[in-house]
Structure 1
Amino acid sequence: MTPMPPLLEVDTLRVEGPEGHLLGPVSFALHAGRALTLLGESGSGKSLLAHAIMGTLPRGLRARGRIVLGGRAFEANDVRSRRASWGRDIALLPQEPWIALDPTMRVGAQLAETHALVGAKSRTEAWTRTLDDLRTLGLGGAAMAWPITLSGGMAQRAAFAITRAGGAPVLIVDEPTKGLDHTARDEIVTRLRQALESGCTVLTITHDIAVARALGGDVAVMLSGDVVERGEAQTVLAQPAHTYTRALLAADPASWKAHAAAHTAAAGEEVLTATGLRKDVGHHTAHRSGHRTLFRDLTLTLRAGDRVAVTGPSGSGKSTLGNVLLGLVSADKGTVHRHASIERVRYQKLYQEPTSAFAPRRAIGHALADLCKRHRLDNARIAPLMQQMRLPEPLLARLPNEISGGELQRFALLRALLLDPVFLFADEPTSRLDPITQQEVFDTLVNMTLERGCALMVVTHDPFIAGSLGPRRVAIGEQT
């Protein structure tokens, strides 16, 4: 029997930028029903590879090599010829769901439009499939919601549904499970496996080792723009040959020791007190009720050096709690008291979606310089923090959408540290980072609370990260 040709073939693909060589050469073939999962540190070139295949590289970057899609060969730099295949033959779920969602359209309308225009479904069938997709992904009430009202995890699932709606046989998903609790993560993995069983091929970029194990197929490990190890997932993840792969697997949060919990900081000055907090969302109408209570009767006190984990399902109100504590959103009941002698700017937040925290048309270096000028800070403090977080200097010249999500999240952390916060609400601060960098950034957060007397509250879906932070926890579940 003649073997079936690959659905996607990548031949000696390279990416170059103003600073020189960035990626490759990379070559591989993807066959129907077979998964390839890319692992590696943030900024290693995984997302760059995905965008080079799609033809959506940031400005100033150039791809070379050959791409064969559905039997048609394209030069890697010939973007125009590949555009007709977008959504139909090949689809990409970008790392940031906000890039995939139109802020001016309700979620259901966007998904139905993709089913109709790309998937060639009738209007009635498109809407039926839309409701079924959203319900399957735990978004049954989100059809009429605007993207801005969704939590990060909910937006991620909505973007995934839209990416799959066209039925493209080649599916590239960039961090499809970041910011999701384990139940929602497993649902996304199930959908990816269903796509494989239906004859698709899936190229997955992830920092979650559990996702790589669940998808099976092949695994490739990237470091500094090169593939340093590749093989069957079962073999690579059980018996890694490369030193970096072994370090990557050893740094998985499931292997972390509770080193942070071993430190007991002396009770410091009170920086924030919340009493009897309640927050409701939604509204009542004559025909339906969308009303929900996120949390009620919530009382807590935070002192300098405290460390608290906030846990709960995706969309349960964890981010909302942080916004209430920071004064960004009002509570429906209860009070929040912040120390009167402390400047409000020292109550800081790391956003779940770092793209929402940076001006899109302002280079990273200019944004940091603006911060230093506004608050009369010494610019010389930037370089040591960049070195500590392994952020190369050339990134300062790029726009926020021209660097990886992990790199942007580290810049967001750096910016917060420049302001010497007394309270830092970190909303899934490491969900975009590879395990090694994740552990490094997490250690930086914990050490900061000890050295600077900063109260730290971390939102996480990972029980291992929560356990490593310390014994104190706020669990938020959905209430009606």
Structure 2
Amino acid sequence: MSALIEIEQLTIKTADGRPLVTDVSFSIHAGEPFCLVGETGSGKSLVMHALMGSLPDELRCSGQIRYQKENLLALPAAQRRAFWGRRFALLPQEPWLALDPTMTVLDQVAEVLLALEGMPLGQARKLATTELSVLGLGDNLLSYPFELSGGMAQRVSIAMARIAASPLLLADEPTKGLDKALCQTVADLLLTEADAGRGLLVITHDLDLVAALGGRLGVMRDGRLLESGVTEPWLKAPTQPYSRELIAAMPQHWPRPQTKVSAQRSEVVQAQGLSKSFGDRHLFSDLDVTLREGEVTVVLGPSGSGKSTLGNVLTGLLPADAGQLIWPESASPLKYQKIYQDPPAAFIAHQTLRQSFDDLLALHGLEPARLNHLLSELGLAEALLERRPSGISGGELQRLAIARALLLEPVMLFADEATSRLDPVSQKKVIELLLAEVAERGLALLLVTHDPALAERIADQLIRLDQQPTDAAAQQQAA
């Protein structure tokens, strides 16, 4: 079977000649998924954008990317842009940035058909309604992006990419921010695309998605392709040490946590009878929650169920409709910090990260040594601070957001899907750092996640929406 896409010795460099991707070669066949996995910042998304023709102007490409035997790198930019949506459809990593805040969900999906097919508006909206309903968004057709959760926005982007029906679908972290049931739905939809004869390139750190898709995969690290091959045997017996490290770092492979010695811990926030709705949409009611120093509280629930809203209420960022919130009298609002689900929303786009951190250090009289220590603990090079937020990977930006929150030495940290953009190895390092803060400084950690395995390994208190908080250890014994 001839390849739909052939990538040979692809190299991507900065304007000053610094290599970001070096000699990457692989092929994509129609009807067969190909997944690129590896740590955040390894160059996976750069490869995808080189294929799409959407790399930043300051980067330089060499090698070959052949589509139906034609070298795309030799074509003018305008000709390559004409392929967008028609030959290549892109599911971007950051739907928050990709969606138009002034358009409803229905009209954004329908617009794809209007632009590419010249389809009548009524027919386009009918097909868009069907596509969105398949993804569980039938009740959100007239919603705007700012009214959606991160997972819901991700599904809108999936609908826009799928409905174009181009020969090649490029998906950058398609399951980021989705609960397990929706991850399986996305996997099934992607497989449907492959079964229909489309080429499929998936950039992901979700090894469960890799297993569900099958096909072939490549493992990247530091801009190089370490190994590639058929997915199923790789999952059972990877040949490279780094590949084995990736699989071992999945939360379900972490050692079972030891039961903590019970102790009287100070409360950092107490909530009684909390209720919250948005319009006709009810999220939770009569919910009692207490967060204490040195404890990890994990919130589980489907995408769009109100997990982030609960965290925002507990940190004082959003008022409750009903109920009472009690903070210690000495509590400073600065000591209640949040790590946002969409890190680009938390940084100034036109400002270098260095300036952002220098401003923070100066404003609060903090020592630069604390920042350097956190960067080292999070596996981040100091040189990243010289770039703007758009100049680094989503996982790197997320870790910088974590560093910024920890700089203020909070008494409570609300981590909203704080590891959703990270590969398993980076996720494990970040969780270990957060748990060290919990153990050493008495941080109260409130973590929103879609991963039951992660919750099981770290939770002292587990909150499932529409239920009262339960003791995680007791749940494990009952199971």
Q: Take 1:76 and 1:156, find their aligned partners in 2: how far apart are those partners?
A: 33
1:386 matches 2:384: no
Q: Answer whether contact 1:351 1:357 (CA < 8 A) is retained.
A: yes
1:221 matches 2:210: no
Identity %: 44
Q: Take 1:345 and 1:77, find their aligned partners in 2: how far apart are those partners?
A: 52
| Partner of residue 205, structure 2 | 207
Q: Which amino acid in the other structure matches residue 220 of structure 2?
A: M
Q: Cα 1:265–1:9, aligned 2, differ >3 Å: closer, same or farther? A: farther
Deviations 1:165-216 (Å, cap 9, x if unpaired)? 2111111101100111111111111110000011101110111111101111
Q: Secondary structure at the match of 1:262?
A: coil
Picking from 310, 323, 329, the partner of 1:321 is 310
Q: Answer whether contact 1:409 1:429 (CA < 8 A) is retained.
A: yes
Mind listing any 5+ residue stretches in structure 2 that lack a counterpart?
468-479
| Partner of residue 7, structure 1 | 4
> In the TM superposition, what is the alpha-carbon distance from 1:124 to its structure 2 partner?
2.1
Picking from 462, 468, 471, the partner of 2:457 is 468
> In the TM superposition, what is the alpha-carbon distance from 1:317 to its structure 2 partner?
0.2
| Partner of residue 355, structure 2 | 366
1:110 matches 2:99: no
Deviations 1:272-330 (Å, cap 9, x if unpaired)? 11111000112xxxxxxxx1210111112212112111000000000000111111111
> In the TM superposition, what is the alpha-carbon distance from 1:78 to its structure 2 partner?
4.4
Picking from 54, 61, 65, the partner of 2:63 is 65
1:433 matches 2:422: yes
Q: Take 1:78 and 1:13, find their aligned partners in 2: how far apart are those partners?
A: 18
| Partner of residue 274, structure 2 | 277
Q: Answer whether contact 1:33 1:200 (CA < 8 A) is retained.
A: yes
Q: Which amino acid in the other structure matches residue 164 of structure 1?
A: R
> In the TM superposition, what is the alpha-carbon distance from 1:19 to its structure 2 partner?
6.5
Q: Answer whether contact 2:295 2:460 (CA < 8 A) is retained.
A: no
Deviations 1:366-404 (Å, cap 9, x if unpaired)? 111111111121122111111111111221111111111
Within 5 Å, give how 1:291-306 maps onto structure 2: 291-306=280-295
| Partner of residue 448, structure 1 | 437
| Partner of residue 377, structure 1 | 366
Q: Secondary structure at the match of 2:276?
A: strand
1:170 matches 2:168: yes
> In the TM superposition, what is the alpha-carbon distance from 1:59 to its structure 2 partner?
4.7
CA RMSD of aligned residues (A): 1.5
Aligned residues, how many? 466
| Partner of residue 128, structure 1 | 126
Q: Answer whether contact 1:271 1:302 (CA < 8 A) is retained.
A: yes
Q: Secondary structure at the match of 2:96?
A: helix
Q: Answer whether contact 1:93 1:100 (CA < 8 A) is retained.
A: no
| Partner of residue 285, structure 1 | none
Runs of 4+ in 1 over 6 A off after TM superposition: none
Mind listing any 5+ residue stretches in structure 1 that lack a counterpart?
283-290
Q: Which amino acid in the other structure matches residue 269 of structure 2?
A: L
Q: Take 1:214 and 1:270, find their aligned partners in 2: how far apart are those partners?
A: 43
> In the TM superposition, what is the alpha-carbon distance from 1:451 to its structure 2 partner?
0.9
Q: Answer whether contact 1:64 1:77 (CA < 8 A) is retained.
A: no
Q: Take 1:62 and 1:350, find their aligned partners in 2: how far apart are those partners?
A: 34
Q: Cα 1:68–1:281, aligned 2, differ >3 Å: closer, same or farther? A: same
Q: Take 1:243 and 1:123, find their aligned partners in 2: how far apart are those partners?
A: 53
Q: Answer whether contact 1:55 1:76 (CA < 8 A) is retained.
A: no
Q: Cα 1:121–1:251, aligned 2, differ >3 Å: closer, same or farther? A: same
Picking from 263, 266, 271, the partner of 1:266 is 263
Q: Take 1:146 and 1:67, find their aligned partners in 2: how far apart are those partners?
A: 37
Picking from 304, 315, 327, the partner of 1:338 is 327
Deviations 1:395-420 (Å, cap 9, x if unpaired)? 11111111111101100000000000
Deviations 1:32-51 (Å, cap 9, x if unpaired)? 10111111011111111111
| Partner of residue 230, structure 2 | 232
Q: Which amino acid in the other structure matches residue 263 of structure 2?
A: A
Q: Take 2:354 and 2:262, find their aligned partners in 1: how far apart are those partners?
A: 35
| Partner of residue 192, structure 2 | 194
Q: Take 1:464 and 1:363, find their aligned partners in 2: how far apart are those partners?
A: 36
Q: Which amino acid in the other structure matches residue 435 of structure 1?
A: P
Q: Which amino acid in the other structure matches residue 114 of structure 1?
A: V
Q: Take 2:259 and 2:436, find their aligned partners in 1: how far apart are those partners?
A: 12
TM (norm. structure 2) is 0.94
Q: Take 1:79 and 1:99, find their aligned partners in 2: how far apart are those partners?
A: 22
Q: Take 1:79 and 1:386, find their aligned partners in 2: how far apart are those partners?
A: 37
| Partner of residue 22, structure 2 | 24
Return 22-31 or 263-272, whichever deviates more. 263-272
